[in-house]
């Protein structure tokens, strides 16, 4: 048996009909991890004993009506999990073995009887676009292990792409779900800001962070979002809105749909093969009865600078709590309290985290606040207004998820600005707070996946999913699998 062979819905039916057991699914997941994770390095912590005990318990349960009953999934390691080590892929939290409580989204998965297989690798504190900033080991791309899987949710995307689990939760601050989904040839959604609770997510940039699902197909993604979305009184930014059945809306067609294609998203810097794949996808939509027009998002060119000023400023404040006192690793090389703070942070944080803390602290400092942070907030409003104007006349915005397919491990590590530019097409979505999804739309000459990004109106995930599903059903890109060895 292979997890590659079935959707979540199909496996739920097999469980209901007693064709398979939850123990079968969990064993299959761990067997696959043993087969391939020494090449992929998607997991930081496995919870095998508890997962197998839960599987046995679920097999003896008569009520199997829950929406993710018995389905093996993984949790990005910046979502706290009671009794399971949570590190944010940082040496600072290497000994954070029991956070004592679950993130709200983890509780929601548990309530629907999903089985947590383990915690997934990531860029340290979610700061990175390649998963090379993990302080433990870089995750590799299952399609070609010489290449990065993207970041910061690289472990989440790679584990799903490698067939180790059926779904994963990631977090997206500037593209950290969609970019690795594009690089790994899977489906990743960044929901509208406020749709999914952030309670229990270790904060990077609180006005940008959002939790979302990564799966192999659109229907599975919609099913997971139905579970994790919804108001949470523990999160002051959580929106109190009714959650529709996203899966039911997938059956609708896209005739008459109006698509906006920003010229900035297909401009210089976008690889020809990526541009060609997106244009081919637009032809598919035309054949399905949709229309598209070129538009402009004129302030997109300021998105990267705006994002790194704002996100780094928020990170500077959020990461101030990591001081070696209340939890986390404390230095042994200090004679007084001030030295203990300094050495704990300098020893615990990696280079990229330090870089962003320093950038954010500078942007917030006296004499520079107005010139940098305040001005960036104003530009953020302009970027949001660009989207608002487009959505007056169009249903969705479509373009590439990333300018290029996955790059090689080590290719950009010495060039932070080039690394930052990889998020140029995903960052505007976070700044505006709108939903965006990435799904496969082709492959490069080297056999690496290319991602199509669909951006929707606030809290209109139903349309985003419907448009993505229509394309997915008209093509076969989502059926392709990486050849890692073992039972593909």
Residue scoring higher pLDDT (382 or 342) = 382
Nearest to 375 by CA among 305, 296, 298, 301: 305
Per the structure, the complete domain to which residue 10 belongs is given by 3-256+468-479
CB count in 10 Å sphere of residue 315: 25
| Within a domain: 150 | yes
For residue 1, name the pLDDT band (cuts at 50, 70, 90): low
For the stretch 5-45, pLDDT in tens is: 799 999 999 999 999 999 999 999 999 999 999 999 999 99
Alpha helices (runs of H) in 288-349, residue ranges in sequence order: 303-318, 337-348
| Within a domain: 351 | no
Catalytic residues: 76, 152, 176
pLDDT above 50: residue 488: no
| Within a domain: 25 | yes
E strands present in 56-183: 72-76, 115-120, 167-171
Contact (Cβ atoms closer than 8 angstroms) between residue 457 and residue 434: yes
For the stretch 173-199, pLDDT in tens is: 999 999 999 999 999 999 999 999 999
Nearest to 440 by CA among 455, 452, 430: 452
Q: Which residue has the tokens 């390649």?
A: 130
Cis amide bond preceding 152, omega within 30: yes
State the Cα–Cα distance between residues 402 and 404, nearest whole angstrom: 5
Task: HSE, CB side, 13 Å, CA atoms: give it for residue 27.
Answer: 7
Q: What is the DSSP string of 355-417?
A: HHHHHHHHHHSTTTTIIIIIHHHHHHHHHHHHHHHHTTT-SEEEEESSSSSPPBTTSSTT-HH
Nearest to 434 by CA among 407, 403, 395: 395
Residue 477 Rama label (left phi>0; alpha psi -120 to 50; beta): alpha
Domain count, the chain: 1
State the Cα–Cα distance between residues 130 and 140, nearest whole angstrom: 9
pLDDT above 70: residue 487: no
For residue 25, the domain's CATH number is: 3.90.1300.10
Residue 484: predicted pLDDT:
79
| Within a domain: 220 | yes
* Cα 162 from chain centroid (whole Å): 16
Residue 43 phi, psi (nearest 5): -105, 140
Residue 120 phi, psi (nearest 5): -105, 145
| Within a domain: 160 | yes
pTM exceeding 0.85: yes
State the Cα–Cα distance between residues 180 and 57, nearest whole angstrom: 34
State the Cα–Cα distance between residues 21 and 338, nearest whole angstrom: 55
Which pair of tokens denotes residue 106?
Answer: 């983890």
| Within a domain: 236 | yes
* Cα 235 from chain centroid (whole Å): 20
Least confident stretch, 60-64, 165-169, 208-212, 375-379: 60-64
| Within a domain: 459 | no
Residue scoring higher pLDDT (419 or 337) = 337
| Within a domain: 152 | yes
Please name the helix (run of DSSP H) or strand (run of DSSP E) that holds residue 462, with its range, or none: helix 461-474
Which pair of tokens denotes residue 277?
Answer: 């794949």
């Amino acid at each position: 048996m292979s997890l590659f062979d079935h959707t979540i819905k199909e496996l739920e039916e097999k469980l209901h009909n007693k064709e398979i057991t939850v123990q079968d699914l969990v064993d299959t997941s761990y067997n696959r991890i043993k087969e391939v994770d020494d090449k992929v390095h998607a997991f930081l912590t496995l919870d095998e004993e508890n997962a197998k005990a839960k599987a046995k318990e679920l097999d003896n349960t008569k009520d199997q009506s829950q929406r993710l009953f018995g389905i093996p999934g993984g949790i990005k390691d910046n979502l706290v999990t009671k009794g399971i080590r949570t590190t944010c892929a940082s040496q600072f939290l290497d000994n954070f073995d029991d956070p004592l409580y679950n993130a709200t989204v983890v509780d929601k998965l548990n309530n629907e009887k999903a089985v947590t297989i383990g915690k997934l690798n990531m860029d340290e504190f979610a700061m990175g676009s390649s998963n090379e900033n993990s302080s433990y080991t870089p995750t590799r791309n299952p399609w070609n292990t010489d290449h990065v899987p993207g970041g910061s949710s690289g472990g989440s995307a790679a584990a799903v792409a490698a067939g180790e689990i059926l779904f994963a939760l990631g977090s997206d601050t500037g593209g950290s779900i969609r970019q690795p989904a594009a690089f790994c040839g899977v489906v990743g959604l960044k929901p509208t800001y406020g749709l999914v609770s952030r309670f229990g997510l270790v904060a990077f940039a609180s006005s940008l962070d959002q939790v979302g699902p990564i799966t192999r197909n659109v229907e599975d993604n919609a099913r997971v979002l139905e579970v994790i979305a919804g108001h949470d009184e523990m999160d002051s930014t959580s929106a109190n809105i009714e959650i529709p059945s996203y899966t039911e809306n997938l059956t609708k067609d896209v005739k008459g749909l109006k698509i906006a294609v920003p010229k900035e998203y297909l401009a210089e810097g976008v690889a020809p093969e990526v541009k060609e794949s997106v244009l081919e996808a637009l032809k598919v939509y035309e054949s399905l009865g949709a229309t598209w027009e070129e538009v402009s998002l004129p302030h997109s060119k300021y998105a990267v600078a705006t994002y790194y000023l704002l996100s780094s400023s928020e990170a500077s404040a959020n990461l101030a709590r990591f001081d070696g006192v209340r939890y986390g690793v404390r230095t042994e090389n200090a004679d007084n309290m001030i030295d203990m703070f300094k050495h704990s942070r300098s020893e615990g944080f990696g280079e990229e985290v330090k870089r962003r803390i320093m950038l954010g602290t500078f942007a917030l400092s006296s004499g520079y606040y107005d010139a940098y942070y305040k001005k960036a907030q104003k530009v953020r409003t302009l970027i949001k207004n660009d989207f608002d104007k487009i959505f007056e006349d169009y249903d969705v915005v479509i373009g590439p998820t990333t300018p290029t397919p996955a790059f090689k491990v080590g290719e950009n590590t010495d060039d932070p600005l080039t690394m930052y530019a990889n998020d140029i097409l995903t960052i505007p979505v976070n700044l505006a707070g709108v939903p965006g999804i990435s799904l496969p739309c082709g492959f490069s000459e080297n056999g690496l996946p290319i991602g199509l990004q669909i951006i929707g109106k606030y809290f209109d995930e139903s349309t985003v999913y419907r448009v993505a599903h229509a394309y997915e059903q008209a093509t076969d890109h989502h059926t392709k699998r990486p050849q890692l060895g073992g039972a593909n």
